[in-house]
């Protein structure tokens, strides 16, 4: 059978397809671009930009390698035997990372007049200090921490920073620092007080050599409450007011204060401590007048020899010092155990035990003067105590 041919000029028969129709020309072109971009992205992802820091000099290099060694090769760095690299040469490296290369450098620190020398792998003085066993905060240097260490080495002078002590209740921490405030001392000691802990001196106070910072740890939350301030009452003598009478001039009024307390550690034990007090209302003191005016007809205080005698000692012997005492056998009354007849002889009225102590003493002194000091006739047993 003869082979069938198709005239190229005649329309080509259309092929029937199932499923999704063919992509338009523009859509197909776009898909090709996406595939190409994806392939290119794989190559781009392998490319890295790494900063290589060689003894303080930084080089930004590009590499497709995945290790620190690849980054060093890209920077043209050949390691010497004693060079130190961080991260290690066989460690993986990512874009944006830093690789440090440090060559040996000789450094001498004249510390308080004594040389401290050694070889360090450091680019700056600050990097070298800890390799020499020095705390950067614990020394005061003649050069800044960012001072480069040249290949020929570096010599600086230094003084040890002042010693400080931090006492957190019973825990003692010593440190050295050149810091200027108490907060700097706490930071150098690696101590961060709690929110409510009491720090003395306060953190913003200036630091001083050999100072001791004390911390009182506060347990839990402080409690604030209002408490009364008890008002005092004072007494004033009033010679115009009868003896023994009292007159309130000003009523006392309690004040109010706001008190904040907390449980703190003191010598290892929990105790209550007042953290703060604020007076809200001042108390008003009361005033009471006390009368000192003697009753009408009371004789004046005995003078002369009688006024210089020990009447309280006589009263103690006669009545135990009780102005209302009455002898159990009857007939003798008051401090000095007057009989009614003797009491009346010196102007007394009523019972001696019902008169004030002041009047009893006045009339006893009057009696002493009346008998010319013959105390034996009046107080034969106790009168000797007048001379104690």
**pLDDT tens for each residue of the chain, 388 residues long:** 333 333 333 333 333 333 333 323 222 223 222 222 223 333 444 788 999 999 989 989 999 988 999 889 988 999 988 999 999 999 999 999 999 999 999 999 988 888 988 899 998 998 988 898 888 877 888 898 899 999 899 999 988 888 899 999 999 999 988 889 999 999 999 999 999 999 999 999 999 988 999 999 999 999 999 999 999 999 998 888 888 788 999 999 999 999 999 999 999 999 999 999 999 999 999 999 988 876 665 444 555 678 889 999 999 999 999 999 998 777 899 999 999 999 999 999 999 999 999 999 999 999 998 888 899 999 999 999 999 8
281 and 268 in a single domain? The answer is yes
CATH code for the domain of 313? 1.10.530.10
- Show Cβ contacts of residue 61 under 8 Å, excluding neighbours closer than 6 positions: 49, 50, 51, 52, 71, 74, 75
Which residue pairs from 209-213 have beta carbons closer than 8 angstroms and sit at least 24 positions apart in sequence?
209/162, 209/163, 210/162, 210/163, 210/164, 210/165, 211/162, 211/164, 211/165, 211/182, 211/185, 212/164, 212/165, 212/166, 212/167, 213/164, 213/165, 213/166, 213/167, 213/182, 213/185, 213/186
375 and 322 in a single domain? The answer is yes
131 and 168 in a single domain? The answer is no
CATH code for the domain of 115? 3.10.20
Assess if residue 132 is contained within a domain: yes
Range of the domain at 167: 163-216
349 and 375 in a single domain? The answer is yes
Assess if residue 6 is contained within a domain: no
134 and 121 in a single domain? The answer is yes
381 and 312 in a single domain? The answer is yes
Contact between 99 and 52 (Cβ < 8 Å)? yes
381 and 310 in a single domain? The answer is yes
266 and 229 in a single domain? The answer is yes
- Number of domains within the chain: 5
Assess if residue 202 is contained within a domain: yes
55 and 96 in a single domain? The answer is yes
Strands 286-293 and 233-242: parallel
85 and 109 in a single domain? The answer is no
Assess if residue 381 is contained within a domain: yes
* Domain final position from 67, 102, 137: 102
CATH code for the domain of 276? 2.20.230.10
96 and 110 in a single domain? The answer is no
129 and 174 in a single domain? The answer is no
């Amino acid at each position: 059978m003869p082979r069938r041919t198709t005239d190229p000029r005649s329309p080509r028969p259309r092929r029937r397809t199932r499923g999704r129709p063919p992509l338009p020309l523009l859509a197909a072109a776009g898909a090709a671009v996406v595939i190409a971009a994806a392939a290119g992205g794989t190559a781009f992802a392998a490319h890295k930009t790494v900063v290589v820091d060689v003894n303080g000099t930084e080089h930004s290099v590009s590499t497709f390698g995945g290790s620190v060694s690849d980054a060093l090769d890209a920077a043209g760095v050949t390691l010497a035997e004693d060079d130190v690299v961080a991260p290690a040469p066989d460690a993986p490296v990512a874009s944006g990372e830093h690789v440090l290369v440090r060559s040996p450098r000789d450094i001498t620190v004249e510390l308080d007049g004594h040389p401290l020398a050694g070889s360090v792998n450091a680019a700056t003085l600050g990097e070298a200090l800890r390799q020499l066993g020095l705390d950067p905060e614990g020394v005061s240097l003649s050069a800044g921490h960012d001072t480069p260490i040249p290949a020929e080495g570096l010599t600086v002078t230094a003084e040890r920073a002042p010693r400080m002590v931090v006492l957190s209740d019973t825990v003692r921490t010593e440190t050295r620092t050149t810091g200027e405030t108490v907060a700097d001392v706490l930071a150098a000691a690696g101590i961060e007080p709690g929110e409510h802990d009491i720090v003395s001196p306060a953190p913003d106070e200036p630091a001083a050599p050999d100072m001791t910072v004390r911390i009182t740890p506060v347990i839990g939350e402080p409690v604030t409450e209002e408490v009364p301030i008890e008002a005092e009452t004072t007494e004033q003598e009033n010679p115009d007011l009868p003896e023994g009478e009292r007159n309130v001039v000003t009523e006392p009024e309690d004040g109010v204060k706001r008190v904040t307390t907390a449980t703190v550690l003191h010598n290892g034990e929990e105790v209550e401590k007042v953290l703060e007090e604020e007076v809200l209302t001042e108390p008003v003191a009361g005033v009471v007048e006390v009368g000192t005016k003697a009753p009408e007809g009371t004789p004046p205080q005995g003078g002369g020899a009688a006024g210089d005698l020990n009447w309280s000692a006589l009263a103690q012997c006669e009545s135990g010092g009780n102005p209302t005492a009455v002898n159990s056998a009857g007939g003798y009354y008051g401090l000095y155990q007057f009989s009614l007849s003797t009491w009346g002889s010196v102007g007394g009225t009523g019972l001696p035990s019902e008169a004030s102590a002041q009047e009893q003493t006045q009339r006893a002194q009057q009696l002493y003067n009346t008998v010319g000091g013959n105390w034996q006739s009046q107080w034969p047993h106790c009168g000797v105590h007048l001379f104690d």
